[in-house]
Structure 1
Amino acid sequence: MAYKKTAALLLMTALAVTSAGCGKQAVDSAAKPVQEAAPVQKTQNQAPVIVAPLTGLPVDAEITDRVVMVMINNHSKARPQSGLDQADVVYEMLEEGLITRFMAFYQSKSPEVVGPVRSIRPYNIEIGQGFDAILSHAGGSVAALSIIRDGGYADMDEIYAYPKAYWRDKSRKAPHNLYTSIEKLRKGAEEKGYRLGGEVPVFRFRKESDSVQGEPGTKIKIQYSKRNTAGYEYDPDTKQYKRFTAGKPHMDKETGKQLTATNVLVIASQHRTLDSEGRLEIDTMGPGEGYLFQRGQALKITWERKDGAIRAYQNGVEMPLYPGTTWVNVVPTTPTLADHLTFE
């Protein structure tokens, strides 16, 4: 798999062919390789169907917008959050204090309220860079801010870069009350002269009618730490995994509905504590072990971050995703994966 240049999709749609061009396109600090156009599904005797690059779901027109990544708080006082239900992809990783934060990636949808927004760490930047994303956050560790300052990223830091894209919700107490919107972030990115189009990781997608064979995986429990647990329960009627946090349904504040995921990837990654504050170094490259949960089945996989994204493999072959949202849960390797993940 490789990056696809979304701008090429318009040409593909107009010509109804499946060729693509190669070349170079600059990012904010350095050039990245340009690959083929965004995914197109084609059925017999029908025109190609345009799909969203990160979800594989049909869309009315090609998506050329650059991906936006928002750092979202998962402290108990920050729940329920807003806008996670409209993210194409969500990564959940530990921060100091052994609580998690979310990296929510937006391209096909633009929620009006997203948050609460919190600070960023170097491993968040690494993953965000893989998506060529505009980075939304409120400050960060010294190491993270140094990386952003020296790397020429499309930075929308609320503290140091563009506070106009953010507001405080007076019904909550700081620091759990900072919010943004994807529209405000895109407008700010334009004002700051950042590229508005970008490159995205390209994923393989299954047909909706495809079946998978694995172990039973309808109930998932993830133990990040004693302070933080997550879970998913498969609903065969909707073919979605319902999200739980701290043993309770994980709801969206704006809609009042429970969060869901089509694909759930749980991977074990090396974590190292750096200082007395508990700041972490987390391996985002792999390889490592994990499980991919789809359609109530648990598939034993290995993982690596290739071509911008963490991907699941079996016998060296990338595992395709079902069209829909994907949640990636990153847990420590120690003591073992089994100490952090149970399912039935």
Structure 2
Amino acid sequence: MKKFLFIMIAMLLLVGCSAKDKTEEDQQDESVMKDTDGSSGVFPLTGKSTDGEKKRRAVAVMINNHPQARPQSGLSEADIVYELLAEGDITRLLAVFQSETPDQIGPIRSARDYYIELAKGLDCLYVCHGNSPEAKTMLDKGYVDNLNGLYYDGTLFQRTTDRKAPHNSYTSFENIEKGAKEKGYELTGAPEPFAFLTEEEAKGLQGDAALNIDVVYGDATSNVHYEYEKAEEKYTRYSNGEQTVEYQSKKPVLLDNIFIIEAAHQVVDDKGRRKIDLKSGGKGYLLQKGKINEVEWVNKDDRIIPVINGKEVGLVTGKTWVNVIPNQPGIDKNVSFDAQEN
């Protein structure tokens, strides 16, 4: 009888353990399946948690940054914005959207080859209005899926009456998706995620205090100023002394990472168009949580990544702005920072 009871207890324990193991396995499988179909996890370009769709394909839009195009629409909803010189000393912006889909985006300007390279690195659908000869060659060859306002002016791209061309071309996410479907482009396939700091790592960030930062592009109209807002733990941005806000709502653009890098620039024609070397790497600064650290940047799989001693540096979860400046006269001459509040 005792032997029978011992056998029965052993069998019950075995069944219980098996059920427990199966439950844990099933839960793990369910978790993996939930993450795979995009219904949980984090957005790859912000590191922010989401219970919704995270598998959306990223869209990169050429944004006009001429003084007559400010304030712009949609920048506060961009995950990453890349700012580089176009012709002269005026910058243009490549706004990358993946976690948010604004109703209005613009004003939209024409393509340049180095912006297309940045969009390609994140496997973006690229949106522009016009192009340089070099950019046209890349777009015509299908280097990147694209929608060009030259062919959709008045349909997918709308002209507003409150500004004059070329500072008045706008589109919406609804129209971008419509155009993508017409051309047979995929609308899913999120980019590979960047490395992000944990909440604890972000709280423990080290570095020199940097509450006010100036980035010089040459012309005062394109020079950038950042201020750290301690209450928000984010940076606000200014162009030529004017805060960067949404055109209609006046909502400010708030940033969690400012990544400033230097790269070789070369003027290549009489229009002042440039080649910008985004392959070779170089010096940079990374600003997070009111601190600044000197870093290097590398091109890893066509993406611009901050590194220290060859190791990728994590971003703070949230929005990122990347300023690319000429390596002449050098980053130390074009960037200044102050530990004092205004």
Normalising by the smaller structure, the TM-score range is 0.7 to 0.9
Map of 1:122 onto structure 2? 113
Give the secondary-structure state (helix, strand or coil) at the position aligned to 1:183: helix
Correspondent of 2:98 among 91, 107, 121: 107
Instruction: Summarize the Cα distance change of 1:215–1:151 in structure 2 as closer, same or farther, 3 Å threshold.
Output: same
CA distance in 1 between counterparts of 2:194 and 2:99 reads 15
Give the secondary-structure state (helix, strand or coil) at the position aligned to 2:84: strand
Across the aligned residues of Structure 1 and Structure 2, the Cα RMSD in angstroms comes to: 2.3
Correspondent of 1:255 among 249, 259, 278: 249
Give the secondary-structure state (helix, strand or coil) at the position aligned to 1:132: coil
Correspondent of 2:215 among 219, 222, 230: 222
Per the normalisation by structure 2, the TM-score is 0.86
Give the secondary-structure state (helix, strand or coil) at the position aligned to 1:16: helix
Q: Is the 8 A contact 2:84 2:91 kept in 1?
A: yes
CA distance in 2 between counterparts of 1:14 and 1:98 reads 54
CA distance in 1 between counterparts of 2:49 and 2:242 reads 32
Map of 1:5 onto structure 2? none
CA distance in 1 between counterparts of 2:153 and 2:317 reads 34
Q: Structure 2: 5+ residue runs without aligned partners?
A: 1-26
Give the secondary-structure state (helix, strand or coil) at the position aligned to 2:332: helix
1:312 aligns with 2:303: no
Instruction: Summarize the Cα distance change of 1:307–1:152 in structure 2 as closer, same or farther, 3 Å threshold.
Output: closer
Instruction: Summarize the Cα distance change of 1:223–1:171 in structure 2 as closer, same or farther, 3 Å threshold.
Output: same
Equivalent runs, 1:10-159 vs 2, <5 Å = 15-17=30-32, 50-159=41-150
Instruction: Summarize the Cα distance change of 1:13–1:151 in structure 2 as closer, same or farther, 3 Å threshold.
Output: farther
CA distance in 2 between counterparts of 1:270 and 1:59 reads 38
- Bigger Rg over Cα: 2
1:285 aligns with 2:279: yes
Map of 1:237 onto structure 2? 231
Give the secondary-structure state (helix, strand or coil) at the position aligned to 1:127: helix
Q: Is the 8 A contact 2:262 2:331 kept in 1?
A: yes
For residue 161 of structure 1, report the CA deviation from its aligned partner. 6.0
Q: Is the 8 A contact 2:61 2:126 kept in 1?
A: yes
Instruction: Summarize the Cα distance change of 1:90–1:343 in structure 2 as closer, same or farther, 3 Å threshold.
Output: same
1:256-288 per-position Cα deviation (integer Å, ceiling 9, x unaligned): 122111000000000001011110000112310
Map of 1:27 onto structure 2? none
Map of 2:156 onto structure 1? 165
Q: Structure 1: 5+ residue runs without aligned partners?
A: 1-11, 21-36, 40-47
CA distance in 2 between counterparts of 1:185 and 1:140 reads 18
1:234-276 per-position Cα deviation (integer Å, ceiling 9, x unaligned): 1111110011111221121122122111000000000001011
Per the normalisation by structure 1, the TM-score is 0.85
Q: Is the 8 A contact 2:90 2:219 kept in 1?
A: no
Query: What is the percent sequence identity of the aligned residues?
Result: 38
1:166-215 per-position Cα deviation (integer Å, ceiling 9, x unaligned): 10111111110100112210121011111122241321111223221111
Give the secondary-structure state (helix, strand or coil) at the position aligned to 1:224: coil
Say which structure is richer in helix: 2
Q: Is the 8 A contact 1:130 1:201 kept in 2?
A: no
Give the secondary-structure state (helix, strand or coil) at the position aligned to 1:151: coil
CA distance in 2 between counterparts of 1:122 and 1:149 reads 12
Which letter does structure 2 place at the counterpart of 1:306?
K
Which letter does structure 1 place at the counterpart of 2:258?
V
Give the secondary-structure state (helix, strand or coil) at the position aligned to 1:164: coil
Give the secondary-structure state (helix, strand or coil) at the position aligned to 2:131: coil
Map of 1:187 onto structure 2? 178
How many residue pairs match? The answer is 310
Map of 1:272 onto structure 2? 266
Which letter does structure 2 place at the counterpart of 1:135?
Y
Q: Is the 8 A contact 2:84 2:323 kept in 1?
A: yes
